Amino acid sequence: MPKQSWMTPLLLFAGLGLVSTVQADSHGKASLDSVVPEGPIEPSSGAPLGWKAKPTKDDAIYAFSMIDRLEYGDSEEGQTYLWDAQGWIGGDYNKFWWETEGEGPVGDGAISASQFDATYAHKIWPYFHLQGGIRYDTNPNPDRGFLMVALQGLAPYWFATDMEAYVSEDGDVSASAEFEYNLLLTQRLVLMPRVSVKASAQDEPDYDLGSGITSTEMGLRLRYEIRREFAPYIGVRWNQKYGETKDIAEEMGKPTSSTAFVVGLRAWY
């Protein structure tokens, strides 16, 4: 790191017991001429532009990754697993945000459905980010991509909210909304109700979906924060299909409703 020109002689003179080169008057004040340096100036500090040091690192990048739900479910239809994770990396106003969800039956290792989002998130209000990006789904029907926008944040009364809208590569329009609430029973024991609703603007026969509200998932999970970062939970999850989507499922002999007891882990880093 190159030393500043005024500093080197200061140190030299100090070591030799001579007067320092800082321009100070007899009252121990800096001279007025020394306040504004010659040459380019860094606007926040008024100091020379070349100084590498900054008094704060307020533009630092942070990263967060969280498995909100990693769970095993047991219902009449069988045993399933589910994951739901998200994370971000970025500064205070702009972040890269990712989310992934998926599920499948326990045993054969297959994934019956999965979803991956990658968005750019901009903080537009104190509690909300506006996000735009892409989503990609796999299984059980043909894979497909989406463009998406989302509004994610903390609504009044502490409801964690995530509202998303999609246009698929085929032009199909759909939307989803998720709400979570943390009810503190004690400082570490937390009851978390969770609701998610999915809807489609049109029939999507290739994906066994009808227009209107397609399905809801409601959950109630009780977690214990052994550490803030590490909380096992137990709970119950109820999935329900609606309308034409329900009819399609009935025709195919698939369940339209299921209730599962779940055991899982919430963890973040």
Partner 1 sequence: MSDTYHDAERRRLLKAMAATGLLAGLEGLLPAYARAGSGAERHLAGAAQVAGGKPRSVTQDFYIRREGIGIAGGHAPSAITVNHSIPGPLLELWEGHEARLRVHNLMDESTSIHWHGILLPFQMDGVPGVAFPGIAPGDSFEARFPVRQHGTYWYHSHTGFQEQIGQTGPMVIHPAEPDPIKFDRDYVVMLNDWTFEEPGRVLAQLKKMNGYYNFSKRTMEDLVEDVARSGWAKTLKDREAWGGMRMNPRGIADVTSHTYTYLMNGLHPEANWTALFRPGERVRLRVINGSSMSYFNFRIPGLPLTVVSTDGQAVEPVETDEFQIGVAETYDVVVEPRADTAYTLMAESMDRSGYARGTLAPRMGMAAAVPELRAQPQRTLVDMGMKRDMLTMGPGKKPNTRLEGDSVAIKEAAGPVVAQHGPDRHGAGNATIAKVQRNRLGERGTGLEDVEHRVLTYSQLRNIEAMTDKREPTHTVEVHLTGNMSSYMWSFDGVEYSDSEVIDFPYGERVRLIMVNDTMMEHPIHLHGMFMELENGQGEYLPKKHTISVRAGSRVSLLISAVEPGRWAFHCHFLYHFERGMFRVVRVSNLPGADNA
| Contact residues: partner 1, CB under 8 A | 1, 3-4, 6-7, 10-12, 14-16, 20, 22-24, 26-32, 34-36, 42-47, 51-59, 62, 64, 92-93, 123-127, 154, 156-158, 183-188, 228, 268
Dihedral, CA atoms, 109, 115, 120, 122, nearest 10 degrees?
-110
Q: Are 97 and 119 spatial neighbours (Cβ–Cβ below 8 Å)?
A: yes
CB closer to partner 1, 76 vs 186? 186
H or E segment and range at residue 74: strand 62-75
Minimum distance between the CB of residue 36 and partner 1, rounded to whole angstroms?
6
- Which residue spans within 76-204 are E strands per DSSP? 78-90, 94-105, 113-125, 128-138, 144-155, 159-168, 173-180, 183-184, 189-200
Minimum distance between the CB of residue 152 and partner 1, rounded to whole angstroms?
12
CB closer to partner 1, 16 vs 110? 16
Give the C-alpha distances (Å, rounded to integers) separating 12 from 22, 50, 94, 117, 247.
13, 22, 46, 59, 87
CB closer to partner 1, 1 vs 110? 1
Minimum distance between the CB of residue 95 and partner 1, rounded to whole angstroms?
10
Minimum distance between the CB of residue 37 and partner 1, rounded to whole angstroms?
9
Separation between Cα atoms, residue 135 and residue 144, nearest integer Å: 9
CB closer to partner 1, 39 vs 171? 39
The residue type found at 249 is A
CB closer to partner 1, 26 vs 251? 26
Minimum distance between the CB of residue 239 and partner 1, rounded to whole angstroms?
28
CB closer to partner 1, 187 vs 253? 187
Separation between Cα atoms, residue 269 and residue 266, nearest integer Å: 11
Of 106, 105, 98, residue with least CA distance to 136: 98
Minimum distance between the CB of residue 89 and partner 1, rounded to whole angstroms?
11
